[in-house]
Amino acid sequence: MSTDTPHPAPRPLTKTPAEITASINPSPRRRLAIILSFPLLILLAVPFWWYTTSIERLPLPESRISALEGANYTAPRAHILFTADSSAFPTPPPGRRQFDTKDILRSLGKEVTKGVDGIFAKQKPSERDVRQWDLVYEGDKEAIGAILRVHIRTWEYANSSFPLEPYVQLPETGLMTSGIPAGTLVLPVHPDQVGDRNLKLHYKIALINSILSVYPPRSPEIPLRALKYAPNITLSFVLLNEDATQGDYVHSWDIEGTIKDHFLPHLEALRPIFNFTIESQILYHAPLSFAPSYSEIPGGERDKALDASVDVINSMPDHSQKVSMEAAVKVMEDERGNKAWMINREQMTIFVNSEKWSLDSAQAFLLPQFGGVVILNPPLTSFQSHSYHLSRTALAPAFHLFTQHLYSLLALPSLPYTPNKLHVPPPPSPFHRPSSLMQPLSPWQVHQALLARLEENFQEGKKTLKGIVRLVRKIGEMKVGEGVRDTVLGAVIRLENVQAFVLARDAVELANKAFFDPSMMGLLYFPDEHKFAVYTPLFAPIAVPLIIGLLRELLSRRKRGKAVEYTEKSQSDHVTLNEIQEGAVHGIATSQVDINEKEKTMESSGDSLSDNSPLRTIRSRVIPGET
C-alpha cells in the first residue's frame, strides 16, 4: 500500500504567451520614451558642452602693435650735475663784475651743449644722433638725485700743459681724491693754467670730448655671448673636486670673503638693473682618463705663456684691468714657480677638442650665455696633505677671471680710455699700491648698461607682440581670453610710453607671459583634431546601439500602425456587409447607387477598398461587367 500523497493537479494557464510577453516587456510607448531619453539627455548637455569647449577670441590691438614695429622709443634724458671749484676760474681785475661760480658754469654749459649739438648736426640726416642729456647745476630741481657728475678741479698735481686730461674718479679714497664722489668725471686743471686766456676754450673741448666718451650718443650693442636679459640672475659658484677616494681634494674654501672682495662691489652698482642671488657648493666628479704630472715647465712653453699673457694685458682698454691682470699673473708666477701640472700634446688636444691650445688658454674658458670655468692648480703647500682649504689668496686669480667673465656675460661696458678724451685716473694715494682688484662700475658705465638693456627689452617686446599676432592669425582656433588680451594691452601701453627701464622690463615680461599663456598653449598640444580622435572611439560604441534601437522602434511602430489601419478597414467592410445582408433579409434591395455612396463615404474619410473587401465583392455582383 503506497503512502505517497497525490500531487496536486497542475493549474491551467490563465495567460496566453502574448499576454506574458506583454507583461514582461514594456509597452511600445514606454520603450520609445526610454530610447529617446538618451539622445534627449545628450541634447540637454549640448549647451553646457558648447560653453565649456567654445573658443573665446577677443580682438587684439593689432593696429597699435603694427605701429610699434616702425617706432623708436624715446630714451630718457639724463641729468648731469655740473660743478667746479671756485678757484678753477680766474679772478676778474678790480672794477670788473664778479660772477658767481654757478653763473660761469651755466655759460660754459651752454657752450658745451651747443658744441655737441653742432657736431651731431653735421652728420647725415639718416644717421644723425640726438643728445640725450642735459647739464644741471646745484640748486636746480633737476639736480636732486642726479648720479652723473662732472667736476672741474683745481689740482696742483695736474699736468701743467694743455690739453687737459679728464678722468673718472676711482671709488678708493686717499690723499689724491680730495673728497670727490666716486664715478665723477673730473677735469683737473693746474693753478698755473687758470690765468690762460684760452682757458674757456680748453674747458669746452675737454668737456665735449670726455662727456661723449663716457656718454656716447648710441647705447652699446649686446653681443651674442651675453646673457639675454632677465631681472633675476643666480650666480652659482661650484667647486668641482675629483674623486675624493683618491685623496687630494678641497674640503673647504673661503667663498664668502672672496665673493665679498671680488663680486659685491660690482653687483651693488647693478642693483637698478638686476637682482642677484648667490649660491655656492662643493661637488665631486669622476677622475680623468689620464693623469697629469707635476713637473718643470719647458722653457719654450713658459715663454709662450708669458707672451700670451702680455698680449692679453696690452689688448685691455681699461688701465685698471691691466694693473689687476699684471698683479694676478705675478701672483700665479710667484706661487707656481717653474713647475706646473703637465699634459702631453696628444692628451691635451683630445681634452680641449682643439689643436690650438696653450697653458694660458687652457687655464680658463667662457661658456657663452652660461658661465665661466677656471682650472685651479692646488697650492704648493697642500702637496703633503690629502685635503686642504682654499684661502682668499688662493682663490684670487680664479675670481679675477670670474669677474671678467661676469662683465662679458652681462655685456657691461668698460671706460674708453683714449688720448685727449679720457685718461687713466691717478692713484688714490702715492703711499699705497693700486688695488689688484677690478674697479667697480662707475655710474657712467651703469647708465650705458641700462640704456643697452632698455633697447634690448624694447626690441624684444615688439618682437614678442608681433609673434603673438602672427600666431593668432595663423591658428584660427587659438583661444584669446580676457586675461591674454589685457596682458597684451598692458605690454603695448608700456612700450608706447617707455621712457624708463622699468616700463621696458615690465613690457617684455607681460609680452612673454601672454605668449606662453596656458590657455593659448593648450591648443598647440591638443588641437581639435586630437579631440575628435579621442571622442570618436569613446562615443561611437554608445551611439550605434542607440541609433539602431531607435530605427527598430520606429519601424515597429510603423508596422503596428499599418496593422491597426487594416483591422479598422476590415471592421468597416463587415459593418457595410451586415447592413446589406439585413436589407436583403427584410426585402430591401441594395442598389448600385447605395454601393457608390458607401465608396464615396470611405474615400472622403481617406480610406480605400482593399481587393478582398466584402463591399468590393458585393459591388461586383450588383454592377455587371466589373471584375
pLDDT at res. 27:
75
Give the residue, 328 or 201, on which the prediction is more confident: 201
pLDDT at res. 84:
92
509-553 pLDDT, tens digit each = 888 878 777 776 655 555 666 666 666 777 777 778 878 877 887
Give the residue, 392 or 353, on which the prediction is more confident: 392
179-232 pLDDT, tens digit each = 788 889 999 999 999 988 899 999 999 999 999 999 998 888 888 889 998 889
Q: Give the residue extent of every domain in the chain.
A: 62-72+447-525, 78-214, 232-410, 540-622
User: Which segments of 426-527 does DSSP mark as H helices, in order?
Assistant: 443-474, 482-496, 501-515, 518-525
Q: What mean pLDDT is predicted for residues 239-262? A: 82
Q: What mean pLDDT is predicted for residues 343-360? A: 55
430-479 pLDDT, tens digit each = 666 666 778 888 999 999 998 898 888 888 888 888 888 888 888 777 77
Give the residue, 361 or 447, on which the prediction is more confident: 447
Place 407 in a pLDDT band, splitting at 50, 70 and 90: very high
User: Which stretch of 95-109, 248-262, 418-432 has the lowest confidence by average pLDDT?
Assistant: 418-432
CA distance 208 to 135: 12
Return all residues near 230 (Cβ < 8 A) that are at least 6 apart.
none
Kindly report the backbone phi and psi dihedral angles of residue 75, in degrees, each rounded to the nearest multiple of 5, phi listed first.
-65, 140
Q: What mean pLDDT is predicted for residues 23-41? A: 77
Return all residues near 133 (Cβ < 8 A) that are at least 6 apart.
77, 78, 79, 80, 148, 211, 215
User: Which stretch of 96-105, 121-130, 326-335, 597-606 has the lowest confidence by average pLDDT?
Assistant: 597-606
The grid cell for 536 is 570618436
Give the residue, 271 or 307, on which the prediction is more confident: 271
Q: Residue 389 belongs to what H/E stretch?
A: strand 387-390
User: Which stretch of 243-252, 278-287, 423-432, 576-585 has the lowest confidence by average pLDDT?
Assistant: 576-585
373-403 pLDDT, tens digit each = 888 776 665 555 567 888 888 888 889 889 9
pLDDT at res. 626:
45
Nearest in space to 410 (alpha carbons), one of 436, 438, 441: 441
pLDDT at res. 544:
80
Q: How much is the mean pLDDT over the chain?
A: 77
pLDDT at res. 627:
42
Kindly report the backbone phi and psi dihedral angles of residue 390, in degrees, each rounded to the nearest multiple of 5, phi listed first.
-95, 115
Q: What mean pLDDT is predicted for residues 56-71? A: 79
Give the residue, 106 or 475, on which the prediction is more confident: 106
Asked if the model's pLDDT at residue 625 lies above 50, the reply is no
Q: In this structure, which amino acid lies at residue 112?
A: V
Q: What mean pLDDT is predicted for residues 122-148? A: 89
CA distance 491 to 176: 49
User: Which stretch of 471-480, 576-585, 610-619 has the lowest confidence by average pLDDT?
Assistant: 610-619
CA distance 54 to 526: 14
Q: CB-hemisphere CA count at 13 Å for 481?
A: 13
Asked if the model's pLDDT at residue 608 lies above 70, the reply is no
**By the 8 A CB rule, do 213 and 421 touch?**
yes
Q: What mean pLDDT is predicted for residues 411-426? A: 86
Give the percent of the chain with pLDDT over 90: 17
**Cα distances (Å, whole numbers) of residue 418 to 203, 357, 421:** 18, 32, 6
pLDDT at res. 214:
92
The gap from C-alpha 238 to its chain's centroid, in whole angstroms, comes to 26
The grid cell for 520 is 593659448
Place 174 in a pLDDT band, splitting at 50, 70 and 90: low
**Cα distances (Å, whole numbers) of residue 117 to 74, 112, 113, 131, 217:** 17, 9, 6, 7, 11
Asked if the model's pLDDT at residue 344 lies above 80, the reply is no
**By the 8 A CB rule, do 214 and 167 touch?**
no
Give the percent of the chain with pLDDT over 70: 67
CA distance 481 to 49: 18
Asked if the model's pLDDT at residue 492 lies above 70, the reply is yes
Q: Residue 341 belongs to what H/E stretch?
A: strand 339-342
pTM, two decimals, is 0.67
